Structure 1
Amino acid sequence: MKLATLKDGSRDGQLIVVSRDLKTACIANGIAPSLQRALDDWNFIAPQLDELYTRLNAGRAVNSFDFVAEKCMAPLPRAYQWADGSSYVNHVELVRKARNAEMPESFWHDPLMYQGGSDDFIGPCDDIVLASEEWGIDFESEIAVITGDIPMGEKVQYAGEHIRLLMLVNDVSLRNLIPSELAKGFGFFQSKPASSFSPVAVTPDELGEFWKDGKVHLPLRSTWNGNLVGQPNAGVDMVFSFPQLITHLCKTRNARAGTIIGSGTVSNKDASKGFSCIAEKRALEMIATGEPVTPFMRFGDTIKIEMLDKNGKSIFGAIEQSVVETDSVN
């Protein structure tokens, strides 16, 4: 099943069901007005949405219309919780190595995770609006899950049962603001502006054989200014699966329906697969020559993040954004 949220002038948008080929959609207001409402009563509402999805794919849905990603908000325009992990330890190791910092051995068995702002996500085709290029603007291509209610202390073998939907993420980072923030000892805040998500969120069964062991075993493509710069396989070198991230999150607290958990920047040890953020490319340059060459993003730059199935068809639709200076926006 594929779900999206249509812009309608409200904070939470209008829940729609989207066809498997991402060509048509149907409003789900007779079932649930918003995705959060569906998540709050998933066992009752999801079968109704799935029935509508079946009719839509068969061309039998009443009042269907063309699906347009540009008209979408984030699937969850605001969420009760957004927690981003760092499952691809290769990424962390490279970035630390570039600045001659030793990586603690614990990073291989104890996930890194931070809690980001979740009250104001931006849509998949909305501009990334910032005030300064000097902040070191970077994209981060990731995968995320949306969960149902999860009890505190949930066991890893059961944690995957709470995953309702998956989607793609651009977890924008302001690299030049990060060092001073981390030096304070309280983690990210100003260096992590609003994240954006793919136009469509999908149930795990939509991935078929490529959803296995709590990981998505497909390449995640990042295209910067029209150039494909990375397509690492999200199932390779993912040290912590989504069930493991869920277990980490819920060690000391409950998580409620609508919690979003990110994978962290997708990264493969095989450098030929490219990169999912500019910081990793710069780290490789630092390691090789002692100096980074690749600049961070400039105003006017574009980023596209997408995942294709085995037939080359988009699964989630694409995140397609431009970086825009604040003063240039009305």
Structure 2
Amino acid sequence: MKLATLKDGSRDGQLIVVSRDLRTAAIADGIAPTMQRALDDWPFYAPQLAETYDALNQGRARNTFAFEPKDCMAPLPRAYQWADGSAYVNHVELVRRARGAEMPPEFWSDPLMYQGGSDDFLGACDDIVCASEAFGIDFEAEVAVVTSDVPMAAAPEAALRAVRLLMLVNDVSLRNLIPAELAKGFGFFQSKPATAFSPVAVTPDELGEHWREGRVERPLVVHWNGKKVGQPDAGVDMVFHFGQLVAHAAKTRNLRAGSIVGSGTVSNKDEKRGYCCIAEKRCLETIANGAPQTEFMKYGDTVKIEMFDEAGKSIFGAIEQSVAPLERAR
């Protein structure tokens, strides 16, 4: 099943069901008005949404319309929880090697995770608005899951069963603000602006055999200014699967329905697979040459993040964003 949220002038938008080929959609207001409402009582609403999805794919649904990603908000325009992990330890290792820092051995057994801002997400085609290019604007291509309620201290197996939806992520980072923030010892805040998500969220069954043991085993394709810069496989080198990440987030607290947990920047050890964030490219340059050569994003730059099935069809739709100055957004 594929779901999205249509822009309608409200904070939480209108829940819609989207066809498998991402061409048509149907309003779900007769079932659940918003994505959060559907997640709050998933066992009741999901079968009804699935009936609409089947009808849509068979050409039997009423009042359908052409699906346009630019007309969508994030699938969850705001959420009770947005926690982002760092499951691809290769990425962490490269960052530390570039700094000349040792890799703590516990990073391979205990996930890194930060709590992001969840009150203001971006739609897949919304601009990345930034007050200054000097902040070091970077994209980060990831995968995320949306959960039902997860009780405190849930085991990874139980946490994995709580996954309801999957999405793609652009977890924008302002790299030049990060060092000073981390030096204070309190973690990210200003260096992590609004996060963008794919236009469509999908149920795990849409991935078929490529959703396996809490991992999405498909390449994540990233274009920067129209040039392909990365296509690492999201299932390869993922040290912590989503069950482990969700369980980590729930170690000392309950997670409520609609919580989003991210994988962190997708990264493969095979450098031929390219990169999902500029920082990783800069780390590789520093390790090889002593200093980075690639600059961060500038106003007018574009980024496109997408995942395809074996037939070459888009699964989640594409995140397609441009970088814009704050003045243009006012």
TM-score by length of 2: 0.99
> Matches of 2:14 and 2:147 in 1, distance apart?
20
- SS of match in other structure, 2:164: strand
Q: Does 2:83 correspond to 1:74? A: no
Partner of 1:105: 105
- SS of match in other structure, 1:328: helix
Partner of 1:171: 171
State the AA in 1 paired with 2:176. N
Matches of residues 223-238 of structure 1 in structure 2 within 5 Å? 223-238=223-238
State the AA in 1 paired with 2:13. G
Partner of 1:131: 131
> Matches of 1:194 and 1:79 in 2, distance apart?
12
Displacement of 1:264 after TM fit? 0.0
- SS of match in other structure, 1:20: coil
Partner of 1:160: 160
Partner of 1:119: 119
Displacement of 1:214 after TM fit? 0.2
> Matches of 1:149 and 1:100 in 2, distance apart?
41
Deviation per CA, 1:35-77, whole angstroms, max 9, x where unpaired? 0000000000000000000000000000011000000000000
> Matches of 1:127 and 1:329 in 2, distance apart?
9
Partner of 1:184: 184
Matches of residues 30-109 of structure 1 in structure 2 within 5 Å? 30-109=30-109
Partner of 1:16: 16
Deviates more, 1:95-104 or 1:141-150: 95-104
Partner of 1:203: 203
Partner of 1:149: 149
Displacement of 1:159 after TM fit? 1.5
Partner of 2:279: 279
> Matches of 1:318 and 1:157 in 2, distance apart?
30
> Matches of 1:190 and 1:130 in 2, distance apart?
11
Deviation per CA, 1:177-199, whole angstroms, max 9, x where unpaired? 00000000000000000000000
State the AA in 2 paired with 1:58. Q
- SS of match in other structure, 2:31: coil
Q: Does 2:6 correspond to 1:2? A: no
Displacement of 1:156 after TM fit? 1.4
TM-score by length of 1: 0.99
Displacement of 1:329 after TM fit? 2.8
Percentage identity across paired residues of the two chains? 72
> Matches of 1:195 and 1:73 in 2, distance apart?
12
State the AA in 2 paired with 1:221. V
- SS of match in other structure, 2:168: strand
Deviation per CA, 1:206-256, whole angstroms, max 9, x where unpaired? 000100010000000110000000000000000000000011111111000
State the AA in 1 paired with 2:271. A
Give the superposed CA RMSD.
Answer: 0.5
Partner of 1:324: 324
> Matches of 1:54 and 1:327 in 2, distance apart?
44
After TM superposition, where is structure 1 displaced by more than 2 Å over at least 4 residues in a row?
Answer: none
> Matches of 2:305 and 2:276 in 1, distance apart?
9
> Matches of 1:153 and 1:139 in 2, distance apart?
32
> Matches of 2:155 and 2:136 in 1, distance apart?
39
Displacement of 1:327 after TM fit? 1.3
State the AA in 1 paired with 2:174. L
Q: How many residue pairs get matched?
A: 330
> Matches of 2:329 and 2:35 in 1, distance apart?
29
Gaps of 5+ in 2: none
Displacement of 1:328 after TM fit? 2.4
- SS of match in other structure, 1:260: strand
Displacement of 1:157 after TM fit? 1.8
Partner of 1:219: 219
> Matches of 2:274 and 2:184 in 1, distance apart?
32
- SS of match in other structure, 2:129: strand
> Matches of 2:272 and 2:73 in 1, distance apart?
34
State the AA in 1 paired with 2:151. P
> Matches of 1:137 and 1:60 in 2, distance apart?
45
